């Protein structure tokens, strides 16, 4: 099986990383409501926990990928004790429709899809939190400066493919020589056996993608009927077959100019201490937001902050969302 960062984040990584699980919730609560909402190209699965009409603005969690699922966002449901939490599967992933039409696989359509979810639920104002590829969607959405946006959290975001690959190169350089050599060989014209390449990639992920195994609750949620899981075809079309070389439609993506259009008062970058999106790079991006956006680093976490350190990540999100529930002056 070919490993990819976005597949791991979307599916929970249980099949690949055999490490002790963090003791957490035994099971996730069922949704207060769920729907299949129409978007360009089909329908997307949406679940809500909490009261959409409550006193605090809802938060929508945007999963990674392209082609991941909402399963990796389930620990954010802890926030539903004080506000509605909205999770959804992007088109061609998870429980959503799978038209498998590459014409739908554009950044702009995925951004429009997010707003279609808001309109479909009748939400007048919300917070958005995008993780990894979901951070790209959140960046593009926030750059439009919509009146409905309470705040934006960019979690381990893909802001620039060039910067992402530079981070990957820097992190690879810190791995043991045998792993570095294997990863280089796997990108050559005559790669070694798949098991060698998967093993070397797994070492990278254990350091920088997820440091903890998926819990039983997450595995059970991923195995529920109707969940088709992550979409490798979509991932390869937009990113590529190799984790460390972008060959898909995102290969030249650069959202850096959009940072100048963000509101620093309403923008938070959030990364793990050992994130693939390195804290130093995130700090540079935050500084490019006029006035300087905030940066939160989750101690001990890799790229999957919610999975590695759910208590700490939810704590950061809870405090941030509370501070930004009121409209900006």
**Residue 6: its pLDDT value, please?**
42
Phi, psi of 216 (to 5 degrees): -60, -35
What is the rounded distance in angstroms from the CA atom of residue 233 to the CA atom of residue 134? 18
Tens-digit pLDDT profile for residues 275-290: 999 999 999 999 999 9
C-alpha neighbours within 13 Å on the C-beta side of residue 95: 18
Tens-digit pLDDT profile for residues 128-178: 999 999 999 999 999 999 999 999 999 999 999 999 999 999 999 999 999
pLDDT higher than threshold 60 for residue 197: yes
What is the rounded distance in angstroms from the CA atom of residue 321 to the CA atom of residue 114? 19
pLDDT higher than threshold 60 for residue 257: yes
For the chain, the maximum distance between any two Cα atoms, rounded to a whole number of angstroms, is 59
Cα torsion angle, 286, 144, 71, 313, sign: positive
The position carrying tokens 């498998």 is 100
Domain architecture of the chain: domains with CATH: 5-171+213-323 (3.40.50.1820)
**Residue 5: its pLDDT value, please?**
43
**Residue 206: its pLDDT value, please?**
95
**Residue 242: its pLDDT value, please?**
73
**Residue 328: its pLDDT value, please?**
56
pTM as predicted? 0.92
- Percent of the chain past pLDDT 70, that is, above it, reads 91
Calculate mean pLDDT across residues 255-276: 98
CA angle in degrees (0–180, nearest 5) for 221-296-145: 85
Phi, psi of 70 (to 5 degrees): -75, -10
For residue 80, what are its two tokens? 């539903």
Tens-digit pLDDT profile for residues 55-84: 999 999 999 999 999 999 999 999 999 999
Tens-digit pLDDT profile for residues 2-31: 334 443 444 343 323 333 333 456 789 999
| CB 255, CB 141: distance < 8 Å | no
β-bridge pairing 85-88 and 59-62: parallel
What is the rounded distance in angstroms from the CA atom of residue 268 to the CA atom of residue 263? 10
- Percent of the chain past pLDDT 90, that is, above it, reads 88
The position carrying tokens 């056996």 is 193
Nearest CA among 242, 236, 293 for reference residue 270: 293
**Residue 186: its pLDDT value, please?**
92
For residue 162, what are its two tokens? 């060039």
**Residue 27: its pLDDT value, please?**
87
């Amino acid at each position: 099986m070919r490993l990819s960062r976005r597949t791991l984040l979307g599916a929970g990584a249980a099949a690949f990383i055999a490490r002790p699980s963090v003791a957490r919730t035994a099971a996730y609560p069922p949704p207060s409501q769920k729907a299949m909402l129409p978007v360009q190209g089909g329908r997307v699965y949406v679940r809500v926990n909490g009261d959409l009409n409550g006193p605090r603005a809802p938060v929508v969690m945007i999963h990674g990928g392209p082609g991941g699922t909402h399963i990796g966002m389930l620990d954010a449901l802890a926030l539903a004790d004080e506000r509605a939490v909205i999770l959804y599967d992007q088109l061609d992933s998870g429980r959503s429709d799978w038209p498998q039409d590459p014409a739908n696989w554009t950044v702009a359509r995925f951004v429009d899809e997010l707003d279609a979810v808001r309109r479909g639920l009748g939400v007048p104002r919300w917070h958005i939190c995008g993780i990894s590829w979901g951070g790209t969607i959140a960046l593009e959405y926030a750059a439009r400066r919509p009146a409905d946006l309470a705040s934006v959290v960019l979690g381990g975001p893909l802001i620039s493919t060039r910067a992402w690959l530079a981070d990957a190169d820097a992190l690879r350089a810190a791995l043991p020589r045998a792993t570095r050599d294997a990863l280089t060989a796997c990108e050559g014209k005559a790669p070694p056996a798949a098991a060698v390449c998967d093993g070397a990639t797994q070492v990278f992920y254990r350091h920088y993608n997820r440091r903890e195994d998926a819990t039983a609750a997450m595995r059970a949620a991923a195995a529920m009927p109707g969940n088709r899981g992550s979409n490798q075809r979509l991932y390869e079309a937009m990113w590529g077959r190799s984790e460390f070389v972008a060959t898909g439609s995102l290969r030249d993506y650069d959202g850096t100019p959009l940072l100048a259009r963000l509101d620093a008062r309403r923008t938070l970058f959030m990364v793990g201490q050992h994130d693939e999106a390195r804290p130093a790079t995130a700090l540079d991006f935050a500084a490019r937001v006029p006035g300087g956006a905030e940066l939160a680093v989750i101690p001990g976490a890799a790229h999957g902050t919610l999975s590695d350190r759910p208590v700490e990540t939810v704590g950061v999100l809870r405090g941030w969302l509370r501070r930004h529930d009121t409209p900006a002056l």
